[in-house]
Amino acid sequence: MYKIELKNISKVFENKRVLKGINLIVNEGEMLSLLGPSGCGKTTTLKIIAGLFSPDCGDILFNGKSIVNIPVEKRGAVIVFQDYLLFPHMTVEENIAFGLKMAKIKKPKRRVKVREMIDLVKLDGCEKKYPSELSGGQKQRVAIARALAIEPKVLLLDEPFSNLDTRLRESMRIFVCDIQKKLGITTILVTHDKEEALLTSHRVAVILDGEIKQIGTPAEVYEKPSSPLVADFFGEKNYLEGEIIKGFFVCKMGKFKTGFDKYPRVMAMIRPEEIELTDSEEGSGFWGRILSKQYAGDKIYYKLSANDIQLKCMANSKNMFEANQRVWLKIDFEKTIFFKAEKS
């Protein structure tokens, strides 16, 4: 298996800088998620690693050796694309065998390998079918089997689950993670689904606007986002502007203990689920008024207003509050994340 290193990779398409110096290391056998919104250059990054595009500048190393000049078919990196791209004129079997045929593997050996892959992805009975006769989930498994059949050193998955329904997505995700662990293939999973990224991978790289903004374990990226942009990507947040003075956060709502000094001007990031609502004054917090309520079964989304600032809050449905009710917003500012306020 390979260790992948990207060094300062840039790519310009028609005067548009899509990648602006990507630096990334994926360790041998690691599963790394590349997380980012649509159009931020995720697919482009994978295509550059596989060799389908050449970078405008920068270097790609596999196990410490530059592979920029090695043609696509000799790199040993396989992409499974978003829309599976099964060859429509070949049966499931022939699709899976395609890579093996290209590698000039003899027929008896090829047959054994195809059988093995079909068992692995549980597609017995579909061997002779054409892609147009398969369901979305089956197509996807064929695409994965076809990629795994040639025993790639690097597996690049481009949003492989995005076309599946929730249930199927979950089982496919578990399935792919298991295989990845079993075979120990260095894998990059591209996704714009934050939960998928957090659930599946050893490390997550957040890519925004052609740059990697943060990279770390799922917990690190979620708990300690490096900037509001990254934080917002993991869900809507509330921000309170204020100052930190001698261990206290001072804002429109009042003065709250933080226990540390950082920058003088700050933005406090408060997750909707970190606000606790009560009907009596209790702990550190402030009074607010409920503007609206949305019921979502196990949880309730409130919109609140406090001191003319709108806040979002997510609470469990144990005690319900009604619109226009006065509530106490309890927030533990000692655990809050503060960002340096941008000068606007």
Partner 1 sequence: MKKNNYIFKITMYLLIFLLISPLVILVIWSFVRIWPWPNLLPRDYGLRGFKHVLDPSTKSLRVLFLSVGLSSLVTLCTLLISIPAAKALGVYEFRGKGFFKMLILAPIIVPPVAVAMGIHIAFIKLGLANTFLGVVFVHLVPCIPYAVRILTNVFEIIGESMEMQARVLGASPLQTFIKITLPLMAPGLLSAGSLVFIVSLSQYFLTFLIGGGRIITLPMLMFPYIQSGDRMMASTYSIIFIVTALIMLLIMERIVRNYYKEQNYFYI
Ligand X SMILES: Nc1ncnc2c1ncn2[C@@H]1O[C@H](COP(=O)(O)OP(=O)(O)OP(=O)(O)O)[C@@H](O)[C@H]1O
> What is the contact surface with Mg ion in residues (CB under 5 A)?
43
Distance CA 296, CA 300 (A): 6
91 binds ligand X (CB under 6 A): no
Distance CA 138, CA 124 (A): 11
Q: Roughly what angle, to the nearest 10 degrees, separates helices 136-149 and 166-183? A: 10
Q: How many of the other CB atoms lie within 10 Å of CB of 157? A: 26
Query: Which is closer to partner 1, CB of 133 or CB of 223?
Result: 133
Q: Compute the least distance from the CB of residue 41 to Mg ion, in Å.
A: 9
44 binds, among Mg ion, ligand X, partner 1, none (CB under 5 to 8 A by kind): ligand X
33 binds ligand X (CB under 6 A): no
Residue nearest to ligand X (CB): 43
Picking from 121, 196, 206, the residue whose alpha carbon sits closest to that of residue 162 is: 196
Please say whether the beta carbons of 48 and 55 come within 8 A: yes
41 binds, among ligand X, partner 1, Mg ion, none (CB under 5 to 8 A by kind): ligand X
54 binds ligand X (CB under 6 A): no
Query: Which is closer to ligand X, CB of 72 or CB of 219?
Result: 72
Q: Compute the least distance from the CB of residue 140 to partner 1, in Å.
A: 14
Query: Which is closer to partner 1, CB of 50 or CB of 266?
Result: 50
Strands of the chain, DSSP E: 4-13, 16-26, 31-35, 57-62, 65-66, 77-80, 154-158, 186-191, 203-208, 211-216, 238-245, 248-251, 254-257, 265-270, 276-278, 285-296, 299-306, 309-316, 326-330, 337-340
Q: Compute the least distance from the CB of residue 5 to partner 1, in Å.
A: 19
Q: Compute the least distance from the CB of residue 90 to partner 1, in Å.
A: 9
Tokens encoding 74: 């000799």
Q: Compute the least distance from the CB of residue 191 to ligand X, in Å.
A: 8
Query: Which is closer to Mg ion, CB of 158 or CB of 274?
Result: 158
- The residue from 44, 91, 140, 187 that contacts ligand X (CB under 6 A) is 44
242 binds ligand X (CB under 6 A): no
Tokens encoding 34: 């590349």
Q: Compute the least distance from the CB of residue 43 to Mg ion, in Å.
A: 3
Please say whether the beta carbons of 249 and 265 come within 8 A: no
194 binds ligand X (CB under 6 A): no
Residues that bind ligand X (CB under 6 A): 13-14, 18, 36, 38-44, 192
